[in-house]
Amino acid sequence: MRNVPSLELVDRVAAGDIGAIARMITRAESGQEECRPALAEIYRRTGRAHIVGITGVPGSGKSTLMGKLTATIRTTGRKVAVVAIDPSSPFSGGAILGDRIRMNELAGDKGIFIRSMATRGSLGGLARATLDAVDVLDAAGFDLILIETVGVGQDEVDIVQAAHTTIVVSAPGLGDDIQAIKAGILEIADIHVVSKCDRPDSNKTIVDLKGMMTLGLNFSGNSNWRVPVIATSALKLEGIAELVEAIGQHRKALESSDELDARRKRIAERRMLKTAEEILRDEFEKHRDGKVSALVSQMLAHKTNPYSAAQDLLAEIRMEK
């Protein structure tokens, strides 16, 4: 198959061509400049999908829940895409693909698209090209796009700056609930889910979370929305339909206020700043053996300092443009 220019893939992506969607996401992950005009055109065609982030610490059952949730949403006739952020392979640097393996039962449905992405060293629970992938899937006509974070720790909360609706999954027996709040993972939730509710110790987690909501620990930012606590069991399919309903109700609550526009603005701002950081990082890499090396040598000789060296480097890069 010939190497089709990225711009030629845009219309095929918009038509829902699965092959073109997969290739465009792969190119976005590579970070090559060649695909930037195509991604810019794709971004222009976005804005319809509901982006739902699902996060929680390892062992909370996010991936199993994601599979059942995706299948249930699909029964409503809507198209669903899943971006599952996996840890990077220590050998290839690629995604380990654990989530895609666990969702094999969804394969074959043209209304479902599943993509695993490697973190490749990115912090915050998301991969570098996560939102580019979301753009591609949005432009391709998927109604809901689910992002599952890598689940690397309680402080990985970047998902709140990437999604319209954030679901935090907790499971019985995973540690001190108050410590989790201090770490920031619970306070970002628009919807709380307690998974594995068929376990005998699940009731304490449910009661604790509902108690926190009663005490006013509602950080969703939307005064029209009361954060629900939903008990689920992926094994018994309990609570999944209720979760789908809550996602829809949260979308309506966002649309009935200014909060949806506020969240879109927050996402756009984060993307602009992150993209600027990436462009600068790429420029620094280009100059590693030249300007960067020379300035580092001056720092080691105490002829300059980190602040002056950084300003000099930025100035030289700007002059070169």
Q: What is the CATH number of the domain that holds 159?
A: 3.40.50.300
Who has greater pLDDT, 163 or 99? 163
pLDDT > 90 in the chain, percent: 46
Whether residues 58 and 180 share a domain: the answer is yes
The number of folded domains in the chain is: 2
Q: Which two tokens stand for residue 2?
A: 């010939």
Whether residues 108 and 52 share a domain: the answer is yes
Whether residues 53 and 106 share a domain: the answer is yes
Whether residues 186 and 301 share a domain: the answer is no
214 located within any domain: yes
Residue holding tokens 């991936």?
63
264 located within any domain: yes
Q: What is the domain extent for residue 294?
A: 269-320
Q: Summarize pLDDT for 258-311 with one digit per residue, the tens.
A: 899 999 999 999 889 888 888 888 888 887 888 889 999 999 999 999 999 999
Measured distance CA(51)–CA(146) in Å, rounded: 6
62 located within any domain: yes
3-state secondary structure of 187: coil
Measured distance CA(103)–CA(99) in Å, rounded: 6
Is 42 in contact with 13 (CB distance < 8 Å)?
Answer: yes
Whether residues 253 and 278 share a domain: the answer is no
> What mean pLDDT is predicted for residues 134-139?
97
Q: Which two tokens stand for residue 117?
A: 């992405």
107 located within any domain: yes
Task: Report residue 188: phi and psi, to 5°.
Answer: -90, 0
38 located within any domain: no
Kindly report the average pLDDT of the chain as a whole number: 83
Q: Judging by DSSP bridges, how do beta strands 191-194 and 229-231 pair with one another? A: parallel
Q: Summarize pLDDT for 1-43 with one digit per residue, the tens.
A: 458 899 999 999 999 999 999 999 999 988 888 999 999 999 9
Q: Which of 92-101, 125-134, 240-249, 286-295 has the lowest mean pLDDT?
A: 92-101
The pLDDT assigned to 174 comes to 58
Whether residues 215 and 315 share a domain: the answer is no
Q: What is the pTM of this model?
A: 0.85
30 located within any domain: no
